[in-house]
A and B are shown apart, each in its own frame.
Chain A
Amino acid sequence: MRKDLKLSLFKSMLRIRMVEEKLASLYSEQEMRCPMHLCIGQEAIAVGVSHALTKEDKVFSNHRAHGHYLAKGGDLLAMIAELYGRDIGCCGGRGGSMHMIDQSVGFMGSTPIVGGTVPLAVGSAWASKLMNDSLVTIVYFGDGCFEEGVLHESMNFAALHHLPVLFVCENNDFSVYTKLELRQPKRPIYKIAEAHSIRSQKADGNDIELVYKISSDAVAEIRNGSGPQFLEFSAYRWREHCGPDFDDHLNYRTHEEVEVGKKACPVARYQEQLLKNGDLTDQMINEISEKIEVEINQVLEKAKAARLPTLQDAMSHQYA
């Protein structure tokens, strides 16, 4: 793998991590007044998949969308301003954390109804096929979404019409506090997708280069007319389902399990790997981090300084 690509993967993951850590640290100020689902610990999937895409390729996402949005190139100021409910937010303050959009980079929208955007992504791929534009559409969802009927309806149609869509399942083993084993029988998720005659694979979602490689191959094949594909990546959600904190005190998962999850940190793991093979130095890490820190602080300042919209603003765009 080229060095610039490796560094780009690393920087993109670190940036998402640092943005979310900053959001978590500021959340208790009660100025970001919306539910927020952090993807800390799950960055490699969004970054690996996004690096396999062109800017024009389309992405749909779910409630835990910050990583997907930023990795695809979504505007940071529009995102943070949205969390602060400001008029320059990506939805003008109408959506909050669970509604990210930046169509200029192909990020078509994220919404929090589980499974809600999966058929939209298939519809986008259908449009691509009918308009013959050779774009690939990606949709991210979790293991919980796999229990929604609409996912299977969507896979059925995608397979039937041979649509250019990549289904990306981030399996973090939890739906809120409920473990996978309490929700699904013991069988591999990706095998069910395969039964829809969709080419499917499962891989370690903390191995950024692996995620990138598998996604690149899948996206290239889809672009060449392979029809839909399905990737299941393992992941671990470090923090609470919704909110900035850790929730170990709730005891729905063991301390040991959380420790194992955190040890698999995709950012630390890749940093170590790059340091070891000489692609990265401590000085470079410092420079990269500092640059990101400056960017985040500047963006935060701008976002907070922006106008808080009023009910008057809320009345526009009721109909197109």
Chain B
Amino acid sequence: MREISYIEAIREALDQSMVKDNRVILIGEGVPDPKNIFDSTNGLQEKFGTHRVFDMPLSENGMTGVCIGAAIRGLRPVLVHQRVDFALLSLDQIINNAAKWHYMFNGKASVPMVIRMVIGRGWGQGPQHSQSYQAMFAQVPGLKVLMPATAHDAKGMLIAAIKDNNPVIFIEHRWVHHIIDHVPEDFYEIELGIARIIKKGSDISIAAFSYMVLEVLIAAKALEKFLGISIEVIDMRTARPLDTETVATSVRKTKYLIVADTAYAFGSIASELIASVVHECFDVLKKAPIKICSPDFPTPSSPGMTKDYYPTPKTIIKAVITLLDVNIDDEKLEKLMASVESKNLHDIPNRDFKGPF
């Protein structure tokens, strides 16, 4: 099957959605500019015209409201923020209007719109350019919150999001943008709210969100090779609805759970997932689950400070060893850790996993 990158998959989903449905419009700061939102909107204004593809004033809240108004009137806007941090300016419109309009007016109207938000890490992005707020959005009834990790899912889930009659927050991690995957050329949808078992295993379940799926896969491969540990890797794909059932089913089999998230630990979607699974599987769990997140303080900019800030495959390996009480001598552990040591600098996207999945 054809292989393309995540960012190309996003672009293709936008392109095909706009061809299929002329109510779809695309707007965002920089959408038609020379950088095209990390190349995800290349050529779309040329193809669909200035009446369907727009640049945008720096008015995140106002423009979110404008898109809601257009959606209520029958258009299907896709609004893009280059950083999730910018979208925070629009919380009023997202939470008070987009998420509630359908409910509070008793189903008389709906807000079919997609808000793409890019999250990321590294290269000195610092405290206001590297946050991950899926849990905050997922807390709001009325929103759907997507976090595809693969190009295949990015395309199918973005198409599904655009076809959905609700406001959908579509969160992309910059560090998966370049990853390639098998992506069909057809116009296809992926059902929202269903996690995907990306690697079958029997000894421990690891559920991961977005970019963390890649890190978990790297760790899983190494653990299997060095210690013969069979890890079931679950790509959660959505934060709301949260597919706790798929994770619970896996945990009933493996009896152990780790959850890896891209956000701060406190109040994270990882916390929510663990709480739900513990509630469901309390009697089968052999140990308390472990949560792998960013530390509970803002992201610093300096490479000196970020080097050990973010979780890596090593963090995941350590968690597995702890949870399963693995006996491993220092020499072997060193080799295991060295095998997942990134050949790149820590603050640029991890090229150790290129895809496809």
Contact = CB atoms under 8 A, between A and B. Distances in A.
Contacts of B110: 320
Contacts of A272: none
Given A111-B97, A116-B96, A320-B166, A123 B67 contact: yes
B122 interface: no
B108 interface: yes
A242 to B, nearest CB: 18
Given A91-B104, A95-B104, A95-B105, A130 B25 contact: yes
Contacts of B67: 123
B141 interface: yes
Contact of A109 (B101, B103, B112, B141): B101
Contact of B65 (A95, A118, A152): A118
Interface in B9-43: 25
A113 B25 CA distance: 27
A316 interface: yes
A81 to B, nearest CB: 12
A99 B67 CA distance: 20
Contact of B61 (A101, A108, A128, A153): A153
B295 interface: no
A100 to B, nearest CB: 9
A233 to B, nearest CB: 23
Contact of B102 (A130, A149, A319): A319
Given A118-B65, A119-B65, A153 B142 contact: no
B105 to A, nearest CB: 5
B202 interface: no
Given A101-B108, A121-B69, A122-B69, A157 B63 contact: yes
Interface in A126-146: 126-128, 130-131
Nearest to A118: B65
B261 to A, nearest CB: 24
Contacts of A92: 106
Given A99-B105, A124-B70, A154-B65, A119 B96 contact: no
B72 interface: yes
A123 B66 contact: yes
A94 to B, nearest CB: 5
A156 interface: yes
Interface string A143-169: 000000110111011001000000000
B61 A109 contact: no
A264 interface: no
Interface string A291-310: 00000000000000000000
B93 interface: yes
Q: Which among A108, A150, A317 has the highest number of chain B CB atoms within 10 Å?
A: A150
A119 B68 contact: yes
A149 B61 contact: yes
Given A150-B61, A156-B59, A156-B62, A126 B69 contact: yes
A109 B109 contact: yes
Interface in B152-173: 165-166
Contacts of B71: 123
A317 B97 contact: no
Nearest to B143: A319
B63 A108 contact: no
B356 interface: no
A21 to B, nearest CB: 27
Contact of B63 (A58, A116, A153): A153
Interface size class of B (residues with CB under 8 A): 35 or more
Interface in B42-80: 51-52, 57, 59, 61-75
A157 B57 contact: yes
B106 A91 contact: yes
Given A113-B92, A320-B166, A123 B73 contact: yes
A120 B62 contact: no
B107 interface: yes
Contacts of A94: 103-106
Nearest to B75: A127
B70 A101 contact: no
Contact of B105 (A60, A109, A316): A109
Contacts of A122: 62, 65-66, 69
Given A126-B70, A130-B25, A119 B109 contact: no
Nearest to B105: A101
A320 B92 contact: no
A103 interface: yes
B57 A160 contact: yes
A58 B110 CA distance: 16
B57 A127 contact: no
A254 to B, nearest CB: 35
Interface in A233-272: none
A101 B61 CA distance: 23
Given A103-B109, A318-B103, 8 more contacts: A109-B105, A109-B109, A117-B97, A118-B65, A119-B69, A123-B73, A127-B69, A128-B73
User: What 4 A-B pairs are tightest by C-beta distance, nearest first?
Assistant: A123-B69, A119-B65, A153-B62, A153-B59
25 contacts: A92-B106, A111-B96, A113-B92, A113-B96, A116-B97, A119-B62, A119-B64, A119-B93, A120-B66, A123-B67, A123-B70, A123-B71, A123-B72, A124-B69, A124-B73, A127-B75, A130-B70, A150-B62, A153-B62, A153-B63, A154-B66, A316-B107, A317-B107, A319-B166, A320-B111
Interface of B: 25, 51-52, 57, 59, 61-75, 92-93, 96-97, 101-112, 141-142, 144, 165-166
Interface of A: 58, 60, 90-92, 94-95, 99, 101, 103, 108-109, 111, 113, 116-128, 130-131, 149-150, 152-154, 156-157, 160, 316-320
